[in-house]
Structure 1
Amino acid sequence: MRPLDGIRVLDFSRVLAGPMATQILADYGAEVTKVERPGTGDESRTFEPHFQDGPSAYYSAFNRGKRSIALDLKSPEGRKLAFDLAAGTDVVVENFLPGEMAKYGLDYAALSAVNPGLVYVSNTGFGQSGPYRNRKGYDTIFQALSGAIDLTGQPDGPPAKVGLPFADLTSGLWIAISVLTGLMGRAQSGRGTHVDLSMMDVQVSLLGLPAARYFALGETPTRTGTGHLGRVPSAAYACRDGGWLFISASDQHWEPLCAELGLDALLADAELARNRHRVRRRDAVEAALREAIAARDRAELAEALRARGVPAGEVNTVPEILNDPHTQAREMIDHFDVPGRGATPGLRNPALLSGWDAARFSPPPQLGEHSRQILSKELDLTEDEIDALFRKGAVA
């Protein structure tokens, strides 16, 4: 038994944020039915990279454990099937532009009239209101508009995007949070809800610390590379062997850090025992740290600092962290079986819940793999009725 067993989710979303959220729900037990376009399906099915002799690794990363039904929402029959499925579900997730689902008769107003307990999440770029509501956007557009790109990069260099699809991933988490919040609210009140979730709003909400500097100081935060505006040291430092080591030290770590690096002059300066003074004298302190660290090899220095209780972390490549013994011990990499290919790796969700069966980790569906099963078992259609819908192209 898993914590979301019995929860049914109808997923109209595509590409990343919505599919990521519904995969989280599926892993923890929800029955997620992915509604896709006949013929092409979710466009991420074609995205690179692909496993050798297998599916898109991009698609597989966000669509595990779901069922797929291919419906033509432009046909009246396809729309009716989608409506009938939504009438019996707990959650709908969609990422169409505002007003698009209403054109299909699948908006919250229409569905909640027959399913008042429905939790309906509309994940759009800019929300259901506001002057930008009809704009289209992608992850990097939201990163740019929100200020994330302006805050990223070296102080003397151009702005840079975050190395991950940051806006999509954080929005995916907020979709999952919204679904779970809506379900908890329904358990208390019996009522469903419509969640207006803007990816742009999600990015603005993440500006807590830069916004605090603006609110408190009237300051426009700037790029700091790997440094931290409010803490010294907190940055990545180049080591003798070419590796980089991130050190983030508070006041209690200052003495052991200086002792390990042989920075007797800094240690003798009583004022530098306080972070606020180190921040004020950032350039001199950082220069001394860089020189001392550049004389040490990364692995040796990292272990020495950790032995003294100083927080230090190697700046790993992706292969390094995926093959790290702690990642392996935590079993963050799991495998699902792809027909004709066998065991295929992927990353599991991080939350380990005691007292429940392990999170599901099963393969993503083939396009329309479950169409007949869903129409038969959930809508009680006969084989002749299903065959007729296939012939019309309303379902595939």
Structure 2
Amino acid sequence: MKPLEGLRILDLSRVLACPFATMLLAELGAEVVKVEQPGAGDETRGFEPFFDFGTSGYFLACNRGKRSITVDMRKPGGRQVIRDLAAQADALVENFPTGALARRQLDFASLRAVNPRLVYLSCTGFGQTGPYARRKGYDTVFQAMGGLMGLTGERGGGPVKPGLPVADLSSGLWVAIALLAALRGRDSTGQGAHVDFSMLDGQVALLTIAAARLFALGEVPPRLGTEHPGRVPTASFRCADGRFLHITASDQHWAPLCRALDLGDLAALDSNAARLEQRGRIMEAMAAALGAMTRAQAVAALDAADVPNGPVLALDEVVADPHVQARGSVVPVAHGAATHPALRLPFRFDGFADPAPLPAPALGADTDAVLAGLGYDAARIAALREEGAI
């Protein structure tokens, strides 16, 4: 069995952060019922890129393993469906603007009345309280306001966003952690809880060692490209063939690195403190040495010396990498009559079934079956459809 089998999650979220979280839980065994707007569904169903079978790759990347039902929560019948689903759920996840579900009597206070054991997680940009509570935002807004973008970029240059939506994806991880923690607590107390998660809070919490430099040294770390403010060497270098190699070395790696790159005159700088003082000299010497070698030559020399290094790979190189292939990180997944590649979760269990990528649902594919599981008969389902509630 999978570790989360038996867990029921009602997913009222859309786009990326929370759908990513609930997909992780679904592939770990939870039953996730995704509630979508009739006719349109999650906005990401219309986002590019599209596979040649017409389905959004964006949607497939974050909604595998779920059941999809269509419910219009603006209709009285739709709101009752949500209440009935919540009555049987272990957890509910939503990312509506602050106050939106309270106006429909679908907030935590309202649903706790029908299920005292419900864990209810609200994910918003800025949280339920504070001066920004009603502000809107997206991934890059939270990167900017949470400090990540201010730390990222070339030396002396302007801010740069990472190549992935880090605020959304890391928020998804925070949401999954919070849900599992609250559910574990619920199992001990018998009482549910409301989790107020702010995506800005999530970014601030990731500042960790950058914040440590501020708290300990009063230093605002500058943008240094691929270098590290407190460690030398840590950087990417261009090799003779134009490819980049990233190297990170600690004190124990310094002498072997100097031998591998023929930098004997720098070997005496065998403490990080000494190397920090000589950062410019070291970077110049390493850039010259690596600039005279192809990346393959540099990797071979550093691997032989047991110095941590890694080629900076493009995405197509990553998925084709022999180690990534051997670990089974990319696998085919069925989608109707078609298949598409997908990234599996990075867990390998001994004692539970390993999670494997599951198909994503067609819009509303499970509406009738889920409602029947609530005890709705055919006539009631037909009436809801007539109302436009499903």
Residue type at the aligned position of 1:383: A
Q: 1:370 aligns with which of 361, 366, 372?
A: 366
Shift of 1:178: 0.6
Q: Is the 8 A contact 1:65 1:360 kept in 2?
A: no
- Which residue matches 2:388? 393
SS in 2 for 1:313: strand
Q: Secondary structure at the match of 1:120?
A: strand
Query: 1:343 and 2:339 equivalent?
Result: yes
Match for 2:287 among 286, 290, 296?
Answer: 290
Match of 1:150 in 2: 150
SS in 1 for 2:149: coil
Mapped to 2, the partners of 1:309 and 1:361 lie a distance apart of 35
Deviation at 1:87, TM superposition (A): 1.0
Residue number in structure 2 paired with 1:91:
91
The answer as to whether partners of 1:18 and 1:94 remain within 8 angstroms in 2 is yes
CA apart distance, 1:54: 3.0
Unaligned stretches of 5+ residues in structure 2: none
Does residue 1:325 correspond to 2:322, yes or no?
Answer: yes
In the alignment, what sits opposite 1:49?
49
| Mapped contact 2:345–2:356 kept (Cα < 8 A) | no
What SS does the aligned partner of 2:59 have?
Answer: helix
The one-letter code matched in structure 2 to 1:335 is P
Deviation at 1:112, TM superposition (A): 1.1
Give the aligned partner of residue 105 of structure 1. Answer: 105
- 1:236-272 CA-partner distances (Å, limit 9, x unpaired): 00100111000101111111101111112112xx3x1
- CA RMSD between the two structures: 0.9
Alignment of 1:128-277 (within 5 A): 128-267=128-267, 270=268, 272-277=269-274
- Please state how far the C-alpha of 1:50 moved relative to its aligned partner: 0.7
- Name the residue aligned to 1:358: 354
Equivalent residues of 1:54, 1:338 under 8 A apart: no
Look up the equivalent residue of 1:386 and give its one-letter code. I
Residue 157 of structure 1 deviates from its aligned partner by 1.9
User: Share of identical aligned residues, percent?
Assistant: 51
Partner SS for 1:355: coil
In 1, distance between residues paired with 2:274 and 2:182?
A: 47
- Contact 1:152 1:159 (8 Å CA) reproduced: yes
Q: Distance in 2 between matches of 1:336 and 1:298?
A: 34
Aligned counterparts of 2:339 and 2:361: Cα–Cα separation in 1:
15
Contact persistence 1:38–1:70 (CA under 8 A): yes
| 360-369 vs 196-205, which moves further | 360-369
1:280 aligns to 2:274 (yes or no): no
Residue aligned with 1:126, SS:
coil
- State the Cα deviation string for residues 191-228 of structure 1 (Å, max 9, x = none): 11110000000000111111111111111211010000
Question: By how many angstroms is 1:179 displaced?
Answer: 0.7
Deviation, 1:374, is 0.8
Matched, 1:384 2:379: yes
C-alpha displacement of 1:361 = 2.3
Does structure 1 residue 71 correspond to structure 2 residue 71? yes
- Displacement of 1:156 in angstroms is 2.4
| Partners of 2:356 and 2:386 in 1: CA distance | 35
Q: After the TM superposition, which segments of 4 or more aligned residues of structure 1 sit over 4 Å from their partners?
A: none
Q: Classify the secondary structure of the residue corresponding to 1:226.
A: coil
* Alpha-carbon distance in structure 1 between the residues aligned to 2:345 and 2:304: 31
Alignment-mate amino acid for residue 11 of structure 1: D
SS at match of 1:23: helix
Query: Are the equivalent residues in 2 in contact too, given 1:26–1:360 (CA < 8 A)?
Result: no
Per-residue deviation, residues 290-332 of structure 1 (Å, max 9, x unmatched): 1111001101211220111100100000000110000000001
Secondary structure in structure 2 of the residue aligned to 1:114: coil
Letter in 2 for 1:260: A
Instruction: Tell me, yes or no, if the aligned pair for 1:29 and 1:360 is still in contact at 8 Å.
Output: no
Secondary structure of the corresponding residue to residue 150 of structure 1:
helix
Contact conserved, 2:345 with 2:357, CA < 8 A, in 1?
no
Q: CA deviation at 1:360?
A: 4.1
Unaligned ranges ≥5, structure 1: none
1-structure distance, mates of 2:186, 2:347: 24
Cα deviation for residue 388 of structure 1 reads 1.3
